[in-house]
Amino acid sequence: MEAKSLYLQGKTPEARARLAELVDHLPQYHEAEIWLARIEVERGDEALAERRLAGLLAYDSQDPRLLYLMAVVRSDQGRLQEAITYLGKAAAFEEELARVHLDLGRLYHRFALRDKALGELERTLTLLPPESPMREPVRSLIARLHGEE
């Protein structure tokens, strides 16, 4: 948390040092390594970021954060076809994330938090691909909630 706070305060060198220390002492702490990779990508240290991300992807090839960061690295390297491939894999998580917002909207509705429910359902529609069979039921639910006004 300290390293994330430093990063968010714009103290990137301090955050990087703290994260590197964490990774050295706790190599299994992948979250620290993801943040370290994020800093390396931002700093334009493509080779180091690429190696780190390749190792992380070998451990978890479906993490959309890693896929996105690798896409940025590939794009910065001019390897645009590979960047597109990584972005496509990361985008596949949209529908999964949409389900999270749908469930959150349903729970807000159960607790009579109508505006929050509507916000989550609208976000669900934004994330769903146009061809998703979930789109129409979500639209119907939104219309029903608007009818409760």
Tell me the per-residue pLDDT of 52-76, one tens digit each, with 9 for 90 and over. Answer: 999 999 999 999 999 999 999 999 9
- pTM score of the predicted model: 0.76
Q: At residue 117, does pLDDT exceed 70?
A: yes
Which has the closest alpha carbon to 89: 74, 103, 102? 74
Q: At residue 109, does pLDDT exceed 80?
A: yes
Q: Are 71 and 83 in contact (CB under 8 A)?
A: yes
Tens of pLDDT, residues 6-45: 988 999 999 999 999 999 998 888 999 999 999 999 999 9
When computed from its CA atoms, the radius of gyration of the chain, rounded to whole angstroms, is 19
pLDDT of residue 149: 59
Q: At residue 79, does pLDDT exceed 80?
A: yes
- Name the pLDDT band for 92 (thresholds 50, 70, 90): confident
Mean pLDDT value across the chain? 93
pLDDT of residue 95: 86
Distance of CA 144 to the CA centre of its chain: 30
Q: Classify residue 120 by burial, with Cβ atoms within 10 Å: 0-12, 13-18, 19+.
A: buried
